[in-house]
Amino acid sequence: MVKAVAAFLTAIERELGADAIEPSVEAVERYGDTTMPSGGRRVDAVLLPRSVTDVVTTVRLANEYQVGLYPVSAGHNLGLGTRSPVRDGQIVIDLGRRMNRILELNEELGYAVVEPGVTFQALHDELVRRGDKFMISATSGPPLGSVLGNALDKGAGYSPYFDHFGTLCGFEAVLGNGSTIRTGDGSLDNDTLPNWPVSKYTIGPILDGLFAQSNCGIIVRAAIWLMPRPPVIRTFHATFERDTDISAIIDAIRPLKLTNFVPTLFRVANDLYAIGPEERAENLGRRPGAREITAEERRLLREKHGLGAWQASAAFYAGSEGDIAPMLARVSSHFLNKGAVRIIDHAQAQLIPSLLIASDAFSGRPSTAELRLLSWRPGGGAIWFLPGTPMSGRTAAELDVLARGLFAQHGFDYIIMHVAGGRFARSLYLILFDRRSAEECRRADACYRALTSAYATRGIGVGRAAIDYHGLHMDLQMPAFQQAVLAVKRALDPNGVIAPGKYGIG
């Protein structure tokens, strides 16, 4: 351990107490574990603050001793870096372990004020305990992920409150320079702030965005808006037979979302994304040395699960079954006219595990089921590639051919889900590989870089990136943007103590 780190930890122990430092060497090492092709990172220590005051002290000491702090709220950023810093030799500040209280739950105005360690599961459980009147916007990722951490990384769900950063309102942030600010209507110099959790726009610039995917400060609390739970939620699922149907699916969804006739986003999952959690590639009885799945193996899996090359899923919310019935009839005939081969209703979907995942997501119920997708291939390697497409069937189809070709060229199974709105769909590609094989790691890395370059050539970047590729993506941004981001970083964190290198900044 370098001298500065040792001296810093001695100062932390003196000011915060020995229990503010994770004692287990093995536990500290695990914070550096990732699912990335490059392997793990060296983490020098893990800190466990108990309060905002502890965080302020930690940042002050980090400036004094010039050490890098990497904040995590729950550290379940699976396929994007888990809880590991971008670079070796940083100190993880695990906010979630001891700062995990729901500070306020306001059922009149529909918001919760949370500390970083409040998980999706914990907030859901508390809402259920209080009578299930409000629902969280669930992800289909880890229920033990942090509501705040996910939102700060621009995570998303599937309900009308899908934009998690957008549903945060009013932060308290400890800046890299050691000062503490409140944003939104919390920035008034007063101790009583009734509008802080309900109004984002106060006088002056909106500073909240400085904390999305950034390294300017550490967020210690925020409000998140909650949607009243509708009395009845009914999902519907349209399956399509051919890979090329993606064009028709995107064009079919667009008018349903532009008018908000359908209130949720659409999950448009290909066969392997939908079926992957229920199957293992190694159980397909494949020839030795086989790489990606064959067309015939995919066909057999689809047949076994009663699913298609694509499945488009969404949900209606209403007061009663009767209110929903005509809407379901209308979308069913809409999709059948656009080439769907099967409409699966809510009741049938409850019996199909892959569609149950969608149903839980639209209903704000956390679930671990989709995490089984990570075991489709052995060896634990996973990278999300997260570009997107305008909601134009022709463009989506062109990008599908492009990405499908690059996955095949690099020998990986094509696993993709589009999360579609009216104008834009985020495309979630998952590269699964065997981390125990150096050759597969090289191929996975090459595949990611080839996808990045092919999309960037077409003017398409990503919405979120795995830690191996933060620098790669920032380097693709226009120089003036990079300079502006760096100038902000230097102004708010002059010694560069917060997560150096995160998102290619500092």
Ligand X SMILES: Cc1cc2nc3c(=O)[nH]c(=O)nc-3n(C[C@H](O)[C@H](O)[C@H](O)COP(=O)(O)OP(=O)(O)OC[C@H]3O[C@@H](n4cnc5c(N)ncnc54)[C@H](O)[C@@H]3O)c2cc1C
358-383 burial, b at 16+ Cβ within 10 Å, e below that, comes to bbbbbbbbbbeebbebbbbbeeebbb
Please pick, from the candidates 32, 37, 68, 116, the single residue that binds ligand X as defined by CB under 6 A: 116
Structure tokens at 300: 């057999």
504 lines the binding site for ligand X (CB under 6 A): no
Please pick, from the candidates 90, 121, 146, 495, the single residue that binds ligand X as defined by CB under 6 A: 146
488 lines the binding site for ligand X (CB under 6 A): no
Write out the H or E segment, with its range, that includes residue 303.
helix 295-305
C-alpha span between 124 and 365 (Å, rounded):
7
Structure tokens at 33: 């574990």
Please identify, among the stretches 69-77, 121-129, 302-310, 402-410, the one whose residues bind ligand X according to the rule CB under 6 A.
69-77
* Residue closer to ligand X, measured from CB, 340 or 431: 431
Under 8 Å between Cβ of 100 and 149: no
Strand pairing class (232-240; 266-270): unpaired
265 lines the binding site for ligand X (CB under 6 A): no
Residue with the two structure tokens 């302020």: 56
156 lines the binding site for ligand X (CB under 6 A): yes
Q: From the CB of 117, what's the least distance to ligand X, in Å?
A: 9
* Residue closer to ligand X, measured from CB, 75 or 393: 75
R_g of the chain computed on alpha carbons: 23
Q: Which of 167, 323, 112, 143 is nearest to 233 (CA)?
A: 323
140 lines the binding site for ligand X (CB under 6 A): yes
Strand pairing class (424-434; 388-390): antiparallel
Please identify, among the stretches 299-307, 322-330, 371-379, 474-482, the one whose residues bind ligand X according to the rule CB under 6 A.
371-379
C-alpha span between 5 and 12 (Å, rounded):
10
In the DSSP assignment, the letter for residue 481 is H
**CA distances (Å), 114 to each of 254, 289, 345, in order?**
35, 49, 36
79 lines the binding site for ligand X (CB under 6 A): yes
Please pick, from the candidates 78, 369, 402, 456, the single residue that binds ligand X as defined by CB under 6 A: 78
Please pick, from the candidates 22, 54, 153, 493, the single residue that binds ligand X as defined by CB under 6 A: 153
Under 8 Å between Cβ of 315 and 252: no
474 lines the binding site for ligand X (CB under 6 A): no
Please pick, from the candidates 92, 152, 312, 352, the single residue that binds ligand X as defined by CB under 6 A: 152
Interface of this chain with ligand X, residues 216 to 245, rule: CB under 6 A:
218-219
313 lines the binding site for ligand X (CB under 6 A): no
* Residue closer to ligand X, measured from CB, 71 or 308: 71
* Residue closer to ligand X, measured from CB, 301 or 499: 499
Q: From the CB of 329, what's the least distance to ligand X, in Å?
A: 29
- Binding footprint of ligand X on the chain (CB under 6 A): 71-79, 83, 95, 116, 139-142, 145-146, 148-150, 152-153, 155-156, 218-219, 370-371, 373-374, 499
